[in-house]
Amino acid sequence: MIQYRIDVAEPAAHRFQVTLTVERPDADCVLALPVWIPGSYMVREFSRHVSGLQARQGSAQRPVVALDKTTWRVACTGRAALVLRYEVYAFDPSVRCAYLDDERGFFNPTSLCLSVRGREGVPHALRIAQLPRGWDVATAMPPAEPAAHGPAHSYLCADYDELADHPVELGRFWRGSFEAGGVAHELVVSGAWPRFDAQRLLADTQRICAAQIAFWHGADATPDAVPFERYVFLLNVVEDGYGGLEHRASTALIANRRDLPRQGQPETSEGYQTLLGLISHEYFHTWNVKRLKPLEFGRYDYSRENYTELLWFFEGFTSYYDDLFLRRIGLMSVDRYLRALGRTLNAVASTPGQRVQSVAEASFDAWVKYYRPDENSLNVTVSYYAKGSLLAWLLDMRLRTAGTGTLDDLMRTLWQRHATTGLCETDVLDAVREQAGPPLADELAHWIHARAELPLAPALAVMGLHTPTEAPTKTSWATRWGLKLSESGGSVVVKGVLRGSCAEAAGVSAGDEILAVDGWRVRRLEDARQWVAPDAACEWLVGRGQRVRRLTFDPTQGTAIQPVSLTLQTGLDDTTRARRSAWLGE
Ligand code: ZN
């Protein structure tokens, strides 16, 4: 048994105190903290927040020797338990690490709990102590038995992997519950304004969960078919934030406080729509990536990057289904659904990186590219979320058009075959081949590995969707000419320049401050439309470092970007209308 005691003694100083007890330690006891957390593919080196590591065996102090940035060794004598004490500084407000102040706390065990080499497979117990008065604990971590008789806030996991996969929320939060598919679900909201519409959030979340359980296990699924006994949503609302991380029986979410539904306001704001999409996304991961997972994730190696070429499937397909579920259960209008899909289409279409990197390469390189974006990212990378979701959409449309079922069928086949064995690309291709024949499987293989645009236009047409281009006068200058801008405090600063764009042809560089257009000072680039004729050449004055440069901006040089909108085509034949309606409900 490995035991952790987490003391919440100094919340205002953002410090957790951790006591780790190793029974009957090896003579050479090696301890390590993960460098990453599954679901967020970047080496974060959580050990940088660990300090004051001390070890004792009985009354004898044992020296702690650092082996590398995240691993320590303690030489032990005899069988007495080894007790380690250390503190962890916790001031990261994201869902990926740990946070503590005098209002709330949150931690992933990957930030607080050292693993003991060779003992990862034994039971791991965790207890939370010195909880400030009035605070409570929310987590999907299984309580230690018997919960009623043992110390409060004690938990027991089968192994280190299970421990690592249960985030914990601490504080005074709102808590509600519901059942979906006969399984108990809990929803915890931290930081909410008092008059948020908790019952609406609870009811909408319940509908999403029920629909997804029915998707994977059938409409009359029994609770034992569902692969978890209890599920917990840990939602922290803040002034400005967004994010989520999936776990085997819970998810940690961050959203804007103002995006919670409000009592007496039955309309669905864009923000609330986004929050429902996030809930749908992370819950879908409970199946797609937490259980049906890349073969390479069969056993996580917490000490280094774990590479897979399949994030286009696990993140992209999940992104396709998140809004689609909202649409199917009536939580998203057709109009909003098409606008969201249109935004994804435009985002990918204006990513020159899709001609440089395939979605398989984007998945593999997530550790150093997707998670570490810079001003050149759009030119050399493509989002496996966005392009992966378009790939899912395209595959779904092609299956439907050929009369060979739907993507739902494919997902369920993969679940039944590979939920316990791990998934590789060949498994996906084999299942497509069986369901729809070799040509579609070959095409899919091409879409996964091609550094090229997906053939979306024919599929849009056969689904009764129209893609009129936006009038040039409506497209912002920045978008049209390939500029990423930051406009604040009266200054216009270039954050990125798209490859092949008019802005690149004019010699604009990331970091430039655009000062003036044709002799007039600009505080917002869009204002220049008042005095520059559409598509006419103009002279820009930019600040670059301490120098001022003149650039000739000629829209006839380079490629202009023309966003499209997505609309329903009218006058459809019966087959096309039925096909579109089966997919979109319209
Ligand atoms: Zn995701």
Strand pairing of 2-10 and 98-100?
unpaired
C-alpha span between 508 and 517 (Å, rounded): 13
**What residues contact 439, with CB distance under 8 A and at least 6 apart?**
none
Centroid of ligand 1 to alpha carbon of 115 (angstroms)? 26
User: Which token pair is 370?
Assistant: 């997707």
Q: What is the pLDDT, as a whole number, of residue 147?
A: 58
Centroid of ligand 1 to alpha carbon of 241 (angstroms)? 16
Asked if residues 237 and 190 have their Cβ atoms less than 8 Å apart, the reply is yes
Asked if residues 166 and 247 have their Cβ atoms less than 8 Å apart, the reply is yes
Q: Which residues pair with 501 in a beta bridge?
A: 559
* DSSP reduced 3-state for 256: strand
> Is pLDDT larger for residue 150 or for residue 86?
86
Predicted confidence band of residue 148 (pLDDT cuts 50, 70, 90) = low
User: Which token pair is 484?
Assistant: 């990423």
Amino acid at 391: L
The answer on pLDDT for 71 being more than 90 is yes
User: Which token pair is 224?
Assistant: 């034992």
Centroid of ligand 1 to alpha carbon of 404 (angstroms)? 28
Q: What is the Rg, in whole angstroms, of the alpha carbon atoms belonging to the chain?
A: 26
Centroid of ligand 1 to alpha carbon of 556 (angstroms)? 40
| pLDDT > 70 fraction of the chain, expressed in percent and rounded | 99
* DSSP reduced 3-state for 360: helix
Centroid of ligand 1 to alpha carbon of 521 (angstroms)? 43
Give the helix/strand (H/E) hosting 3. Answer: strand 2-10
The answer on pLDDT for 149 being more than 70 is no
Amino acid at 377: S
Strand pairing of 465-466 and 567-568?
antiparallel
Helices in 286-385 by DSSP H: which ranges? 311, 318-328, 334-349, 359-364, 377-380
Centroid of ligand 1 to alpha carbon of 392 (angstroms)? 14
Centroid of ligand 1 to alpha carbon of 520 (angstroms)? 45
Q: Which residues pair with 174 in a beta bridge?
A: 189
Centroid of ligand 1 to alpha carbon of 547 (angstroms)? 43
Centroid of ligand 1 to alpha carbon of 273 (angstroms)? 17
Predicted confidence band of residue 534 (pLDDT cuts 50, 70, 90) = confident
User: Which token pair is 288?
Assistant: 């797609």
Looking at residue 292, the DSSP 8-state letter turns out to be B
Centroid of ligand 1 to alpha carbon of 574 (angstroms)? 36
Across the range 98-110, mean pLDDT stands at 98
Residue 191: alpha-carbon gap to chain centroid: 21
Cα–Cα distances in Å, from 138 out to 110, 252, 287, 557?
A: 17, 11, 22, 58
pLDDT digits (tens, 9 = 90+) for 493-523: 999 999 999 999 999 999 999 999 999 999 9
Token pair 């903290």 is found at 33
The closest of 257, 254, 460, 441 to 344, measured between CA atoms, is: 460
Neighbours of ion ligand 1 (CB under 5 A): 315
Q: What is the pLDDT, as a whole number, of residue 22?
A: 98
Centroid of ligand 1 to alpha carbon of 280 (angstroms)? 10
Predicted confidence band of residue 152 (pLDDT cuts 50, 70, 90) = confident
Centroid of ligand 1 to alpha carbon of 172 (angstroms)? 28
Q: In degrees, to the nearest 5, what angle opens at C-alpha 177 toward C-alphas 175 and 182? A: 160
Across the range 186-199, mean pLDDT stands at 96
Q: What pTM value is reported for the model?
A: 0.97
| pLDDT > 90 fraction of the chain, expressed in percent and rounded | 96
Predicted confidence band of residue 250 (pLDDT cuts 50, 70, 90) = very high
Q: What is the pLDDT, as a whole number, of residue 269?
A: 97
Centroid of ligand 1 to alpha carbon of 284 (angstroms)? 9
Centroid of ligand 1 to alpha carbon of 253 (angstroms)? 11
Centroid of ligand 1 to alpha carbon of 282 (angstroms)? 6
Strand pairing of 250-256 and 50-57?
unpaired
* DSSP reduced 3-state for 229: coil
Q: What is the pLDDT, as a whole number, of residue 146?
A: 66
Query: Could you give phi then psi for residue 378, rounded to 5 degrees?
Result: -65, -25
Residues in the chain: 586
C-alpha span between 555 and 157 (Å, rounded): 62
Across the range 458-469, mean pLDDT stands at 95
Token pair 């985030």 is found at 167
C-alpha span between 374 and 190 (Å, rounded): 32
The closest of 96, 50, 92 to 70, measured between CA atoms, is: 50
Across the range 210-224, mean pLDDT stands at 96
Q: What is the pLDDT, as a whole number, of residue 578?
A: 96
C-alpha span between 83 and 25 (Å, rounded): 10
pLDDT digits (tens, 9 = 90+) for 330-377: 999 999 999 999 999 999 999 999 999 999 999 999 999 999 999 999
The answer on pLDDT for 29 being more than 80 is yes
Centroid of ligand 1 to alpha carbon of 416 (angstroms)? 21
Centroid of ligand 1 to alpha carbon of 39 (angstroms)? 7
Q: What is the pLDDT, as a whole number, of residue 139?
A: 98
Centroid of ligand 1 to alpha carbon of 393 (angstroms)? 16
pLDDT digits (tens, 9 = 90+) for 169-185: 999 999 999 999 999 99
The answer on pLDDT for 394 being more than 70 is yes
C-beta atoms surrounding 208 within 10 Å: 23
C-beta atoms surrounding 334 within 10 Å: 12
Looking at residue 314, the DSSP 8-state letter turns out to be I
Query: Could you give phi then psi for residue 444, rounded to 5 degrees?
Result: -60, -45
Token pair 């001609």 is found at 355
The closest of 171, 164, 170 to 46, measured between CA atoms, is: 164
Centroid of ligand 1 to alpha carbon of 29 (angstroms)? 36
Q: What is the pLDDT, as a whole number, of residue 280?
A: 98
User: Which token pair is 275?
Assistant: 């929050």
Predicted confidence band of residue 535 (pLDDT cuts 50, 70, 90) = confident
Predicted confidence band of residue 253 (pLDDT cuts 50, 70, 90) = very high
Centroid of ligand 1 to alpha carbon of 316 (angstroms)? 8
Predicted confidence band of residue 473 (pLDDT cuts 50, 70, 90) = confident
C-alpha span between 343 and 487 (Å, rounded): 21
C-beta atoms surrounding 258 within 10 Å: 14
C-alpha span between 327 and 321 (Å, rounded): 10
Q: What is the pLDDT, as a whole number, of residue 472?
A: 83
pLDDT digits (tens, 9 = 90+) for 110-137: 999 999 999 999 999 999 999 999 999 9
Q: Which residues pair with 448 in a beta bridge?
A: none
Centroid of ligand 1 to alpha carbon of 260 (angstroms)? 21
The closest of 100, 122, 74, 142 to 15, measured between CA atoms, is: 100
Asked if residues 396 and 460 have their Cβ atoms less than 8 Å apart, the reply is no
Centroid of ligand 1 to alpha carbon of 319 (angstroms)? 7
Centroid of ligand 1 to alpha carbon of 455 (angstroms)? 24
The chain-wide mean pLDDT, for the chain, equals: 96
C-alpha span between 381 and 371 (Å, rounded): 11
C-alpha span between 444 and 310 (Å, rounded): 13
Asked if residues 171 and 298 have their Cβ atoms less than 8 Å apart, the reply is no
Residue 570 burial (C-beta neighbours within 10 Å; 0-12, 13-18, 19+): exposed
Centroid of ligand 1 to alpha carbon of 318 (angstroms)? 6
